[in-house]
Structure 1
Amino acid sequence: MNKSLRLFLVFQLLSFISYGQAILSGSVVDEVNNEPIPGAVVQIEGLETQAFTDFNGEFIFKDLPVSLVNVSVQTIGYVSKTEFEIQLTLAKPARIVFELREATQKLDEVEVSAQMKFTRDAQSPVSVQSIGINEIQRNPGGNQDISKVIQSLPGVASGLAFRNDLIIRGGGPNENRFFLDGIEIPAINHFATQGASGGPVGMINVNFIRDVDFYTSAFPAQRGNTLSSVMELNLKDGRTDKTGGIFQVGASEVGLTLDGPINNKTTYLASVRRSYLQFLFKVIGLPFLPTYNDYQFKVKHNFNRNNQLTILSLGAYDVNRLNLDRNETEDQRYLLNYLPEDIQWNYSIGAKYTHFGSKGRTNIVLSRFMLDNSSEKFENNNRDLNQLLNYNSQEIENKFRLEYERKSSTWEYMFGFGLEQAKYNTTTLDKRLPGGFELNYSADRIFYKGNIFANVIGRFADDRLKVSLGIRTDIMDFNESTLNPLNQLSPRIAVSYNLNENVTFDGNYGIYYQLPPYTSLGYKGIDGDNSDLQYISAEHVVLGSTQFWPWNAKTSIEGFLKRYRNYPFLLRDSISLGTLGGDFGVIGNQLATSTSDGRAFGLELTYQQKLYKGFFGIAAITLVRSEFQDIDNDYVPSSWDNQLIATFTFGKKFGNNYELGIQYQYLGGAPYTPFDRAATATIQNWDVLGRGIPDYNNLNSSRYGGFNRLNVRIDKKWFLKKFNIDLYFDIQNALAYSVQGPAFIDVVRDDQGNPIVNPDIPSQYLTTTLENNNGTILPSLGFIFEF
């Protein structure tokens, strides 16, 4: 019997012995004071059985079949709630904590509607999508990377180069903010673009995630410094029964996650991951070798029912080296000619203390973030020759935030304030600029910031009408403008009206502010500094309607408008910073003025299907236009003007624990700026840049073609008494669709690899072009072992 046949028989045997009895337990508490709710009815969808909570609000189901289920809870005096897609296994008891809101109507019986199965926040009734951990883990093409999964939601565009840039409703990748359990995490991607937020691979271990709330407008008042989105990642708590874990091998990394009890009041989760991309890239002959490492942990301590402490951290260490032995082809030599070598590390660490009072809760949050970024480049990659780039920079943020929430059945109040110290330093030598311009400066700045915020929510007409009014202002001691709180006054109003129990009409208006990146604030070159920069503002208007369906689904339509003001206008390149951020390196480190305006507007159509009879999925169609002013103050398409974005993601659970997920994406062609061939060929420019120079006189005058992408994922799972196994096959761009981008400009070289001077124009090299095709099939196998 050969090895393959033996392996097949082993897995088939595992399939037959994976039946048994699973356990589901949990608690039901009041969301305001964390007090237990006894007598609540807990029901598993599709099963006859139900359980009641005891005097401690606890419930337990035993002898359940291994399955993926939806669980709901109802009780008199509270709004019903459903948790979707709870995985029941033999190896690990499942646990749910339901936090219920007091109902405005005191009825003698429980009221349930299709709308109640979807959590809705009156402060943000529009432009919010919520997804659970199973939706994240099995997303086709997502590779268990939260940033890639988010790209399947309405209003979100992705790039063509398989990066994690989040382009939200025509806004740039620098306009997004991220929170883990309410603690801000500025960096969530490896090899992050400094001055923006994108990168090629996500840092967050999805095994920590319980669910994600993704806001594309109607931002909560306590969340500031954002223009396009807020991502709230709500994490699981560690196991209380014993230590368990997950060993995982994915498309590009191997990782280990552990979780369990420290004592009877304290739990933990911890993980480490390391990539093996450098080995794969070396084998297939790529001229660069990236390596990334990350860690993550969370510790939660319950002093008692009224007091909790959460401590968490996330960090990464990334290195990119050149593979100088791979220089046989034109494409390899082109990349080696301009790519630098990089080392980047960062960490975030924070603590949140929560106190539950009789009528509300108080959150006190302390956090620290540090980024260290360095890059270098030498002429001909020879350290004995001219150094073209020597970049070192650090960003440090120390934050304090206090929030107090008070809730009743008809009114909610929230207010608080924040304080922050930020440090930015850099030593920059960069000769890779056209026209002989050179950056050679140092900066060491300390900034102090503050903010205050408040929000009130009223529920009227038996909870059919909800009105939210919020206000916020931010200050910073950068200059007189940023220090004046009236200049950053951020009002917001949201209204939601139930036309009937399952149809709502919703709207939002708000003005939001964000600081320019530290790379811009700290710039100090021979041409001046950016001491007059101001906060960037974005005015949002959103109107929409949602229909909730009894089969765990909803349909929504939303129209949106964003007006940008005071975006930094980069004087050397004569373009708005709002059109940059979708590439590696550093953006914003040049002289700028707060004079650029922009606008984005569009329409979103969404259908979301939570698990129902084995089916799940989401379909999103977005029509969007995005424009920023050019040097003549004329509106031209921004780099994020995709016009049409369509994503359809659906899946089905089959018998014997097979799952199939299919995702189709259409991304309308984004604008791009063509290269200036004459400027690129100039010897002075090519010797320091080694790549094409954009012709900003024709800013975004060309477009890529539309991009079609089909992603497929197949999972086979085994649920055994002591462990679970998930073996999956994922393929991105299964149709091998490719988009032709602007041809790369390269120089013609002699037999020794030296550029050849143009005999007709002695100040230039002879040039040629290389194909620029975007779109590659990316198949991967993954193995997940949970114990």
Structure 2
Amino acid sequence: MLKFRLVLVFSFIALFSFAQKGKIDGIVLDAVSKEPVPFANVVVAGTQIGASTDIDGKFTIKEVPFGYQKLEVSVVGYERKITNDVYVTQNQSPYIEINLNKTSTQLKEVTITSSAFDKPAESPVSLQTIGVEEIERNPGSNRDVSRVIQSLPGVTSTPSFRNDILIRGGAPNENQFYIDGVETPVINHFQTQGSSGGPVGILNANLLQKVNLYTGAFPSNRGGALSSVLEIEQKEGNKEALHLRGNIGASEVGLAVDGPIGEKTTYNISARQSYLQFLFQALRLPFLPTFNDGQFKIKHKFNEKNQITFVGLGAIDQFRLNESVNDGLDPNDPDDAETIEENNYTLGNIPINEQYNYTIGAVYKHFEENSFQTVVVSRNALNNSAYKYQDNDESDPSKKILDYNSTESENKMRFENTIRKNSWKVNMGVNLENARYTNSTFDRIATPQGSITRNFESDLTVNKYGIFGQISRPVLNARLDLSFGFRLDGNDYNSEMQNPLNQFSPRFSASYSLTDRWSINFNTGRYHQLPAYTALGFSNSDGTLINKERLKYIQSDHVVAGVQYNPDSKTKITVEGFYKFYRQYPFSLSDSISLANLGADFGVIGNGPIASTNKGRAYGAEFLIQRKAKKGLFGILSYTYVRSEFQDVNGDYVPSSWDAKHILTLTAGKKFKNNWQVGLKWRFVGGLPYTPYDVQASALKENWNVRGAGLPDYSRLNERRLSNFQQLDLRVDKTWYFKKWSLNLYFDIQNAYNFKAEQQDNFNVEQNANGEPVTDPNDPSRYELYRIDNEAGTVLPTLGVIFDI
């Protein structure tokens, strides 16, 4: 019956749709000087539909098929280029600015061809690019960038519902994010402080244009990354008319509006409201999250040589417990009894958490004949609060377990000068930053010896500074691209960090073109990252920063080498090997564990006594076949073999929590006639290591009363391993184009064959008939515990709607 109704709805809508074609307007400019490029040939990729630019570099292409299209641009003296996706409908005629780079003054012996894949001289390896259509229609990702990139090589996915980005065996705190050039520390709702993951992304796909993921070979103007840099490019607003896009997805409803403000300014603004709390309540889950977020981009052109862009991103996250979750359940029914047991366990250990965060920034660019200057000014802030009472009894102050409130704020300025002359490319600049961190903590913590209490307040201000440069040039008749870069970073936290020479970070890249299709690529570099503010600002009860003389920048040395083969302009095949060696990694003195093993759980990472004494290594190989949409078929097949090891308390290397060994992902899609599209994503990840619980320490009454969960036995760090994880996601899209609007309906199924992923077993306390905890008959200081099997995975179908007006 449901199938019949869906077919009826789709057929009814089809009666009002019609086949028609639209147009694309745009301008072709020199990437450096911003001078118009006349008489360039611009065609819709894969077709004969096109136009030439006029004397002012402008063009109009008519009779363009509806949907996502790419443009291919060629003109003498410039590199051929394939653009990002643009979306064409009856009511939306996109305006696209295409920037071309001049060709080398030397003539290449190999043929110059356009490609849908970027390979800059600074990063000839470990760079993957995904366009807006791949973001919009990636199966099982709910249009969330953090989930979409799990299709790419080196990215570990987990069976949990979190968005932790785990790259080549690195921890989730080792990543940096940029939106239109503005550094953006927080991109997830309910983010783990001191790390980067959370359950749902903040970025709205309605505003996104392209994403670059660097898993190595980071450009020198992107500091603070150890495992990856994620560069996000947003769409510009429509220059001609108001445009609206709305969506209803798996967890939220959203609306985006873009259009012109006069002749020189465009805007693109979005807002989203979640309805997860209603869904979770209907599913009888013990917690009810709510989130709201907003995002904007405003671009103003003073003239052809000067422009400024304003960007912003913010979120408000609220979380409460569903204490009536078990109402109406029958404890004598086996299924209900299992649900009650799981709900009570969660209610016993999860705190109530609220967050808000924002990033705002301005990017000013001035263009000259052979150079352009960029000034970026921004501010970001995160407020994180959480509290918990034993038995969730807020009426009794003596039962308070946790009362945490912390803020992080940063004011940043970065200046860059980019010069392109003849075959040389030079980028150099400086960055300055003022950061403030405050923390008020009352926390009762479980330890193998019993519970302890941390009660302190801290207020930390840190001033940071850096200088960077990168120079690139082709040689050997432009067959060999060479690039050398460096960074110097420092701050006034302590004397070790104050000297930027201690954080000297050189890097070198080379790419040799064997033919027009084959190339050999290499990069090596040293990268530094400041430890989290939670570690920098941890203090004792009198406000003394006890980690101040023990912390240093984290250091990571990378070596990456590989081969790339491009059978055609839309297909890429790569093989890469990588090695990363870590020094000065933060090590918890209270838990005797490297922080490299933490970060993929809720809470706070690094809020304790820490020393920069740990070492680690990650190494492996990657294989990738990526095909952009060609004849309706597109896909990514990637395999990564990775090993990740960090020292334990004895200085021995043991597998880290991200030692997946094998990561295999297949993402594929096919476009059919009448605007139908189907896609699938299948993932296989080797079982991750985990640390077993210390059952005796967990059972201590004073520990269980404050933790409500098992206590890891870090003397047995990661000595066990979960079973392998796999998952199949499916998606079907159908789009209708009407006279004034368009409609996209999609049906998405996560975990289509209901794979049950093994998780670490939990423990809970036995209760008597009155619901009171049972004391161990052999030890009155302990409760009697029992084991709870723990699995993750269920079929999650979603019917989504996207409309454009």
Which of 520, 523, 529 is the aligned partner of 2:546? 529
Q: Hey, what's the Cα distance between the residues in 1 that align with 2:461 and 2:486?
A: 27
Report the Cα offset of residue 109 of structure 1.
Answer: 14
Match of 2:334 in 1: none
**Which whole-Å deviations, capped at 9, do the CAs of 1:313-349 have from their partners, x for residues lacking one?**
1000001100111246111111111111011000000
Q: Hey, what's the Cα distance between the residues in 1 that align with 2:749 and 2:72?
A: 35
Q: Hey, what's the Cα distance between the residues in 2 that align with 1:350 and 1:71?
A: 30
SS of equivalent to 2:192:
coil
Which letter maps to 2:233?
A: N
**Which whole-Å deviations, capped at 9, do the CAs of 1:372-415 have from their partners, x for residues lacking one?**
00000011101122111000000000000000000023101111
Counterparts of residues 102-251 of structure 1 (less than 5 Å) = 102-105=102-105, 112-113=112-113, 116-251=115-250
Scaled by the length of structure 2, the TM-score of the pair is 0.95
Q: Hey, what's the Cα distance between the residues in 2 that align with 1:691 and 1:86?
A: 50
Match of 2:437 in 1: 424
SS of equivalent to 2:148:
helix
Question: Is 1:543 equivalent to 2:556 in the alignment?
Answer: no
Question: Is 1:347 equivalent to 2:365 in the alignment?
Answer: no
Q: Hey, what's the Cα distance between the residues in 1 that align with 2:7 and 2:71?
A: 40
Kept after mapping to 2: 8 A contact 1:74/1:110:
no
RMSD of aligned C-alpha atoms? 1.7
Match of 2:323 in 1: 324
Report the Cα offset of residue 113 of structure 1.
Answer: 2.4
Match of 1:70 in 2: 70
Q: Hey, what's the Cα distance between the residues in 2 that align with 1:516 and 1:358?
A: 41
Kept after mapping to 1: 8 A contact 2:94/2:238:
no
Structure-2 change in CA distance of 1:632 and 1:47 (3 Å) = same
Report the Cα offset of residue 69 of structure 1.
Answer: 3.3
Match of 2:19 in 1: 19
Q: Hey, what's the Cα distance between the residues in 2 that align with 1:65 and 1:389?
A: 58
Q: Hey, what's the Cα distance between the residues in 1 that align with 2:721 and 2:624?
A: 27
SS of equivalent to 2:61:
strand
Question: Is 1:661 equivalent to 2:679 in the alignment?
Answer: yes
Match of 2:505 in 1: 490
Kept after mapping to 1: 8 A contact 2:26/2:95:
yes
Question: Is 1:507 equivalent to 2:518 in the alignment?
Answer: no
SS of equivalent to 2:772:
coil
Kept after mapping to 2: 8 A contact 1:76/1:106:
no
Q: Hey, what's the Cα distance between the residues in 1 that align with 2:166 and 2:765?
A: 34
Question: Is 1:746 equivalent to 2:764 in the alignment?
Answer: yes
Q: Hey, what's the Cα distance between the residues in 1 that align with 2:173 and 2:501?
A: 24
Match of 2:336 in 1: none
Q: Hey, what's the Cα distance between the residues in 2 that align with 1:487 and 1:146?
A: 35
SS of equivalent to 2:534:
helix
Match of 2:491 in 1: 476
Which letter maps to 1:601?
A: Y
Counterparts of residues 335-734 of structure 1 (less than 5 Å) = 335-385=346-396, 386-434=399-447, 435-525=450-540, 529-532=546-549, 533-550=551-568, 552-734=570-752
Q: Hey, what's the Cα distance between the residues in 2 that align with 1:314 and 1:41?
A: 37
SS of equivalent to 2:347:
helix
Using the TM superposition, name which of 322-331 and 2-11 deviates more: 2-11
Which letter maps to 2:726?
A: N
Q: Which runs of 5+ in 1 are unaligned?
A: none
Report the Cα offset of residue 262 of structure 1.
Answer: 1.1
Report the Cα offset of residue 463 of structure 1.
Answer: 1.6
Report the Cα offset of residue 70 of structure 1.
Answer: 3.1
Q: Hey, what's the Cα distance between the residues in 1 that align with 2:701 and 2:117?
A: 61
Report the Cα offset of residue 96 of structure 1.
Answer: 2.5
Using the TM superposition, name which of 59-68 and 395-404 deviates more: 59-68
Question: Is 1:334 equivalent to 2:349 in the alignment?
Answer: no
**Which whole-Å deviations, capped at 9, do the CAs of 1:222-261 have from their partners, x for residues lacking one?**
1101100000101111001111111110000001100001
Kept after mapping to 1: 8 A contact 2:108/2:478:
no
Kept after mapping to 2: 8 A contact 1:84/1:610:
no
Report the Cα offset of residue 50 of structure 1.
Answer: 2.8
Kept after mapping to 2: 8 A contact 1:679/1:685:
yes
SS of equivalent to 1:303:
strand
Structure-2 change in CA distance of 1:109 and 1:195 (3 Å) = closer
Report the Cα offset of residue 46 of structure 1.
Answer: 3.2
Which letter maps to 2:349?
A: Y
Match of 1:774 in 2: 792
Which letter maps to 2:493?
A: F
Q: Hey, what's the Cα distance between the residues in 2 that align with 1:258 and 1:117?
A: 29
Q: Hey, what's the Cα distance between the residues in 1 that align with 2:626 and 2:772?
A: 57
Q: Hey, what's the Cα distance between the residues in 1 that align with 2:230 and 2:65?
A: 34
SS of equivalent to 1:92:
coil
Which letter maps to 2:168?
A: R
Kept after mapping to 2: 8 A contact 1:101/1:409:
no
**Which whole-Å deviations, capped at 9, do the CAs of 1:534-578 have from their partners, x for residues lacking one?**
000000000011001126101000000000000011011100011
Kept after mapping to 2: 8 A contact 1:430/1:440:
yes
SS of equivalent to 1:367:
strand
Kept after mapping to 2: 8 A contact 1:76/1:109:
no
Kept after mapping to 1: 8 A contact 2:425/2:472:
yes
Structure-2 change in CA distance of 1:245 and 1:67 (3 Å) = closer
Q: Hey, what's the Cα distance between the residues in 2 that align with 1:378 and 1:625?
A: 40
Report the Cα offset of residue 105 of structure 1.
Answer: 4.1
Q: Which runs of 5+ in 2 are unaligned?
A: 330-339
**Which whole-Å deviations, capped at 9, do the CAs of 1:637-696 have from their partners, x for residues lacking one?**
000000000111010001110000111100110000011111111111111111100011
Structure-2 change in CA distance of 1:157 and 1:778 (3 Å) = same
Q: Hey, what's the Cα distance between the residues in 2 that align with 1:185 and 1:117?
A: 27
Kept after mapping to 2: 8 A contact 1:193/1:586:
yes
Which letter maps to 2:649?
A: I
Q: Hey, what's the Cα distance between the residues in 2 that align with 1:471 and 1:670?
A: 35
SS of equivalent to 1:500:
coil
Report the Cα offset of residue 67 of structure 1.
Answer: 4.5
Report the Cα offset of residue 453 of structure 1.
Answer: 0.3
Q: Hey, what's the Cα distance between the residues in 1 that align with 2:96 and 2:463?
A: 41
Report the Cα offset of residue 355 of structure 1.
Answer: 0.4
Which letter maps to 1:638?
A: S
SS of equivalent to 1:524:
coil
Kept after mapping to 2: 8 A contact 1:528/1:591:
no
**Which whole-Å deviations, capped at 9, do the CAs of 1:252-302 have from their partners, x for residues lacking one?**
000110000111100101111011010111111111100010001111000
SS of equivalent to 2:281:
helix
Q: Percent identity?
A: 45
Match of 1:314 in 2: 313
Counterparts of residues 11-50 of structure 1 (less than 5 Å) = 11-14=13-16, 17-50=17-50
Structure-2 change in CA distance of 1:300 and 1:515 (3 Å) = same
Q: Hey, what's the Cα distance between the residues in 1 that align with 2:785 and 2:354?
A: 32
Q: Hey, what's the Cα distance between the residues in 2 that align with 1:528 and 1:26?
A: 56
Which letter maps to 1:778?
A: L
Which letter maps to 2:460?
A: R
